[in-house]
Structure 1
Amino acid sequence: MLPGKPLAEGEALDVFACGRCGGRRRVQAYLTAPGGVRAILEHLELPTWPAQLAPAQGPAQMAWC
């Protein structure tokens, strides 16, 4: 399967197969409560809020305009 290529009918995607080594991934935890996600991010010293988006810009100006 190539990236960006849709799956053919009847073709399955194994989300637990490692793309690097072919080994099996395991589910470590099922996160359902927002408080649990926040606690894990804080423990890993990662930001708990999404990144700030840059302000929108207008279309590029043509050199001859």
Structure 2
Amino acid sequence: MKQEELVELYILDQKELMSSYKQGDFVALPNTYTKFFRRFFPWQLVRFIWINIRMMVMIFKSHR
């Protein structure tokens, strides 16, 4: 950025700032089902194996 360029700063008041957010702007929180499977070791092991198999298939296809 050149030094001659000017940057304007707009300061919003609290009401304008809060009204600029919509419901879709925030991250969804995980439910109990999702939290359970994130901590459930057998499921994580199955996912790990499945992802590795998919990677190996892609690598073998690229070496042909």
Name the TM-score, length of structure 2 as normaliser. Answer: 0.30
Q: Which has the larger radius of gyration?
A: 2
Name the TM-score, length of structure 1 as normaliser. Answer: 0.30
